Structure formats: structure tokens, C-alpha cells
Structure 1
Amino acid sequence: MNLVLGEISAWLWIDLVLVIILLWMLGTQLYWWYRGKKVAHIVESDEFKQGLRKGQVIDLRDSAEFGRSHILGARNMPFAQFKLYENALRKDAPVYLYDTTKAMPIRIAARLKKEGFNDIYILKGGYSKWDGKKKTKKI
């Protein structure tokens, strides 16, 4: 009888740990969603396209990825080196950010918002969701 109770207890602990991990993952997603809404407009590809001509399009991916392919007209400001480039951005023009994910653009948008930028847009789904014009390196 004690062996059965011990096994049930072990399975209960495993279930509890899995539930905690699941709640942590859900909480993290909700946090990034809320933070993104607070500091920038997260827009679909079509809305992103509409503002390209009047805004500053920033690719936050590393230089190698940017060199292979990027949105036509984008400037590369890798996330890891963004501090070096941020003074090159104008506060009076909208900023359009993209990367392969949504977390890095949200972090950069929060930084820009703190510096006084107001019109900040993030491409929902990142570069993989972009269906507009691209500049691709020919091999």
C-alpha cells in the first residue's frame, strides 16, 4: 500500500512541476504581449508596408542574416550593437522594427520609447512573415 502511495505522490509532483512550467511559459508570453502593446504598435505585413516610405526601417538581425536577405530599404542595426547606432535615428520620423522574433524588437522599442520616440512599429511575426519586396544576395 505504501508503495502505491509513493508512486502516486511522485506522479503528483511531476504533474505539479509540469503545470508550473506551463504557467511560467504562458506568463512569459503574456508579459511580452503586454509590454509590446505598451511601447509599440505591433502590425501585420500590410500595415508595415504602408509606412515604409515615410519611416525608418530597422533590421535588428545580425549582419550575416541581413546580407543574405532583408526588406528593401531597411538599415541594419544588429540588436547586440544597437547602442552604437541608436543616435542615427530621428525622433520626428516613425521607426519600423523587425527581427526573426518579436522579443528583441520589443526590447528595442522600450528603449526607444524611453528616449522619447513615439511612432514605433514592430512587424508581427518577424521577417519570416514579410511578403513584400526584399533585397536578396545572389549566389
Structure 2
Amino acid sequence: MTVTLAIAALALSACGQPAQLYVDKGYVRLPAVKGNPGVAYFTVHGGDTDNRLLSVTAPTVIKTELHESMMSGSMASMAPVKTVPVPAKAKIAFAPGGKHVMLFTINPSVKPGGKMKLIFTFANNLRIEYDAPVIGPGDPAPKA
């Protein structure tokens, strides 16, 4: 009986835990043509309060930009965005055909099979470092 009560207490206390802002399922795809930009994809999970993703930077990249792809009729285009809202407890996917981070002038030391450190900066002054696997231009995306 005591064990059952302890398990129930643990389960109830876990329900009251605040949601944590975090990043997962990230990876970097290198460009097919040397000198062209690469791209980073990932998922941002919102915390207990609304927030905004201000930037994603990388020490091995000269410049990064938050981007969003969109369709207008049969024409695909993409444009930079200043920030990305991250509502409380939401899941924001940065994925092919949607939101992504453009990586300009990637250091030649970055190779498929390695990792690239991505630094996420949010409006609440939180910074998250994430080591994203690096894949080649024709490689399949890592399994989530």
C-alpha cells in the first residue's frame, strides 16, 4: 500500500512540473554546391510562457538567418523572418518546406558525420546550445 501511495504521489507531482523550453530533433544539411548556404532544421518546444526565438547562431558559420518557405499559387519562395513566436507549450517544427535556418559561409572543417553547435537565443534571455548532427546534401534526414 505504501509503495502504491508513493508511486501515485510521484505521478501527481510530475503533472505539476512546469513545461521546459527546449530544442530537439535538429540536424544540419550541407550544401550541394560548395560556397552555397547550408540549412538547419529542428523542433522548438515552448515552455510555460509565450516566448520568441530571436536567433540561431553557430561558431562555425559566418552568418545565419531565420527563414520561412511559402507557396504563392504554384510558385515557391522563401524570405527571412526577424523572430519566430514560440507559444507556451507549443511545438514549432523547422523542417523542409517551412521554417528553417540558412547557414552562410560554413567553415570547411564541418563535414558529414560530424556535429555543429547551434546556439538558440530567446526573448527571455535564455540561450540553448545544441549539437546538431551534420549530413551531406543527398543524405537522408536523421531518424527522429
TM-score by length of 1: 0.27
- Provide TM-score, normalisation by structure 2: 0.27
Q: Which has the higher strand share?
A: 2
Q: Choose between structure 1 and 2: higher helix proportion.
A: 1
